[in-house]
């Protein structure tokens, strides 16, 4: 294999898939080889795993969840917080026993953690039973890398990559997890460099897909019967930057919303600095876009926001929320929050509490600050002990719990449009999600699965609603 990148050639990767097919069949002693793909982290990784599974299916693999019967195990990893990284190292370490029981097992580690040289090196040094390590820009070259491992019986470690590896390629195979929900990446990377965040370091610069390519994939998903399509990007609100044809995110949304069909649209993640009134107007007047926005504010304090390099202040955030709620009184808001950013004081943390009381989010994703190698915040002074941060964190959870319970209780008596996804095996009730992404259970027959039902909420219990079909 060459170490310099050739211009990406999908046909070439397809040929590697074909070459791998008989090799794997022999290794699996004539039966269909089995792959286990475990995905950590965010939807971006889920989308990458779907491409890897697409390639694996082309190579003749079936899939399993059982480590002991797998011929190939891949962990697609996340580096967002230290805990995520530690967990992966622990789980990779545990694979040593699988390899002992099944010596021809191939083990691979990819994703955001593997993209960082220090981690790739640690795997190379301390986990000799891992055959293949590759970074986020190498997903498209996975067949070539696996082929190298199999043919040359050697370990392959490939992160970083050349400029060409960062250009967008279309037409990669995708094997979705089934169900009624699909993920559609509209942009890659991130240019924001929030001071705490590793994503720009492991996912590269921001690149938007062409609207024609997005629309073609979107139409295909609708035609295949997907009922909920989530548009993905680290900052979807800056979609379109750098494209030849001028287009912004609201325009893209309107273009997709005009595709006829029975489906709904979500998107993640919106950065408040690039959120516009036009975006909220677009959602309010759309046919298919959920009245739900995930709009992470991270901190309610202006000094902390500045240190985080977020480029908005509390007032700008609140003015966006006020406008959005005025346009959509039924709007559901969710957010991400970091507690204990370096130098944050208890008084500053209280500004976060007051903001969540003011906005009344449906739910929150809350994190204690974790220093990430290579980021600016890693080097900032961080005098508050972890136990203290943990107390603040608890206070945040308690505050939100009361708000969420109230918001759920407020939904009793209301009518909701629910996408029914499955039957809960425990209580036999149909189970689906509202536009605001809250779970609702109700009685009904199997024909309702995969359809939208109108449900009247009759009861709210532990963040799960119960209802009756109308």
**Residue in 56, 78, 123, 408 binding ligand F3S, rule: CB under 6 A:** 78
> Residue 211 carries which DSSP code?
H
Residue 45 binding target from ligand SAH, ligand F3S, ligand SF4, none, CB below 5 to 8 Å by type: ligand F3S
Output the smallest distance, CB 197 to ligand F3S, in A: 9
Residue 299's nearest CA partner among 396, 370, 378, 189 is 396
Strand pairing report for 439-442 and 430-433 = antiparallel
**Residue in 73, 79, 256, 404 binding ligand F3S, rule: CB under 6 A:** 79
Output the smallest distance, CB 139 to ligand F3S, in A: 12
| Phi and psi at residue 343, to the nearest 5° | 90, -10
Output the smallest distance, CB 305 to ligand SF4, in A: 12
Which residues touch 216 (CB under 8 Å, ≥6 apart)? none
Peptide bond into 269 cis (omega under 30): yes
Which residue is associated with the tokens 């995708």?
174
x-marked contacts with ligand F3S along 194-233 as a string, rule CB under 6 A: ----xx--xx------------------------------
Residue 469 is inside which H or E element, if any? strand 464-469
Output the smallest distance, CB 272 to ligand SAH, in A: 9
- As a whole number of angstroms, the distance between CA 383 and CA 247 comes to 45
x-marked contacts with ligand SF4 along 255-294 as a string, rule CB under 6 A: ----------------x-----------------------
Residue with Cβ nearer ligand SF4 (194 or 460): 194
Residue 92 is inside which H or E element, if any? helix 82-101
* Spatial contact of 92 and 64, defined as CB atoms under 8 Å apart: no
**Span of 42-50, 158-166, 212-220, 423-431 interacting with ligand F3S by CB under 6 A:** 42-50
Residues between 192 and 251 with contacts to ligand SF4, criterion CB under 6 A: 192-194, 197, 199-200, 234-235
Q: How far is CA 111 from the centre of its chain?
A: 12
Task: Based on the shown chain and the rule CB under 6 A, indicate whether residue 81 belongs to the binding site for ligand SF4.
Answer: no
Output the smallest distance, CB 295 to ligand SAH, in A: 8
Runs of H (alpha helix) within 380-426: 386-410
* Spatial contact of 420 and 450, defined as CB atoms under 8 Å apart: yes
Residue with Cβ nearer ligand F3S (85 or 355): 85
Task: Based on the shown chain and the rule CB under 6 A, indicate whether residue 192 belongs to the binding site for ligand F3S.
Answer: no
* Spatial contact of 237 and 276, defined as CB atoms under 8 Å apart: yes
Residue 137 binding target from ligand F3S, ligand SAH, ligand SF4, none, CB below 5 to 8 Å by type: none
The structure tokens listed for 67 are 């480590």
Residue with Cβ nearer ligand F3S (134 or 180): 134
Q: Which residues bind ligand SAH (CB under 6 A)?
A: 80-81, 196-197, 199, 234-235, 269, 271, 296, 298, 336, 338, 367, 369-370, 372
In the Cβ-directed half-sphere of 32, how many Cα atoms lie within 13 Å?
11
The structure tokens listed for 221 are 């998903």
**Span of 77-85, 155-163, 225-233, 259-267 interacting with ligand F3S by CB under 6 A:** 77-85
Residue 372 binding target from ligand F3S, ligand SF4, ligand SAH, none, CB below 5 to 8 Å by type: ligand SAH
Largest CA distance in the chain: 66
- As a whole number of angstroms, the distance between CA 223 and CA 228 comes to 12
Binding site for ligand SF4 (CB under 6 A): 190, 192-194, 197, 199-200, 234-235, 271
Binding site for ligand F3S (CB under 6 A): 41-42, 44-45, 78-80, 112, 198-199, 202-203
């Amino acid at each position: 294999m060459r170490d310099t990148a050739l211009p990406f050639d999908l046909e070439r990767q397809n040929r590697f898939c074909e070459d791998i097919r008989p090799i794997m069949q022999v290794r699996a002693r004539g039966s269909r080889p089995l792959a286990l793909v475990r995905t950590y982290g965010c939807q971006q990784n889920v989308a990458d795993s779907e491409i890897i599974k697409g390639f694996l299916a082309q190579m003749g693999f079936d899939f399993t969840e059982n480590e002991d019967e797998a011929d190939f195990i891949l962990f697609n990893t996340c580096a967002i917080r230290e805990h995520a990284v530690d967990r992966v190292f622990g789980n990779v370490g545990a694979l040593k026993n699988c390899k002992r029981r099944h010596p021809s097992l191939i083990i691979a580690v990819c994703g955001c953690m593997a993209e960082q040289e220090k981690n790739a090196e640690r795997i190379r040094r301390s986990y000799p039973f891992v055959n293949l390590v590759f970074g986020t820009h190498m997903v498209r070259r996975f067949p070539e890398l696996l082929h190298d491992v199999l043919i040359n019986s050697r370990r392959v470690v490939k992160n970083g990559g050349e400029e060409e590896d960062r250009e967008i390629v279309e037409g990669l195979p995708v094997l979705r997890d089934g169900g009624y929900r699909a993920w559609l990446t509209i942009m890659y990377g991130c240019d924001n460099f929030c001071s705490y965040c590793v994503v720009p370091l492991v996912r590269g610069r921001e690149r938007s897909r062409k609207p024609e390519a997005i629309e073609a994939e979107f139409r295909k998903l609708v035609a295949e019967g997907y009922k909920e399509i989530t548009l993905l990007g680290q900052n979807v609100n800056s979609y379109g930057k750098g494209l030849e044809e001028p287009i912004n995110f609201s325009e893209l949304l309107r273009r997709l919303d005009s595709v006829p069909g029975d489906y709904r649209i979500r998107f993640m993640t919106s950065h408040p600095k690039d959120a516009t009134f036009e975006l909220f107007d677009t959602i309010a007047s759309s046919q298919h876009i959920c009245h739900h926005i995930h709009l992470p504010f991270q901190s309610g304090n202006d000094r902390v926001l500045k240190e985080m390099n977020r480029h908005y202040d509390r007032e700008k955030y609140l003015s966006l929320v006020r406008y959005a709620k005025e346009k959509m009184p039924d709007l559901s808001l969710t957010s991400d929050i970091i507690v204990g950013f370096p130098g944050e004081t208890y008084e500053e943390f209280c500004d976060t509490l007051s903001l969540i009381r003011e906005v009344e989010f449906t739910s929150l994703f809350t994190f204690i600050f974790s220093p990430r190698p290579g980021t600016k915040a890693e080097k900032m002074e961080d005098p508050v002990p972890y136990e203290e941060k943990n107390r603040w964190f608890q206070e945040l959870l308690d505050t939100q719990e009361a708000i969420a319970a109230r918001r759920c209780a407020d939904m009793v008596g209301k009518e909701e449009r629910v996408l029914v996804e499955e039957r809960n095996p425990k209580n036999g009730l149909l189970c689906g999600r509202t536009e605001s992404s809250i779970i609702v259970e109700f009685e009904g027959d199997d024909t309702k699965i995969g359809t939208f039902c109108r449900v009247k909420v009759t009861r709210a219990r532990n963040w799960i609603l119960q209802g009756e079909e109308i």
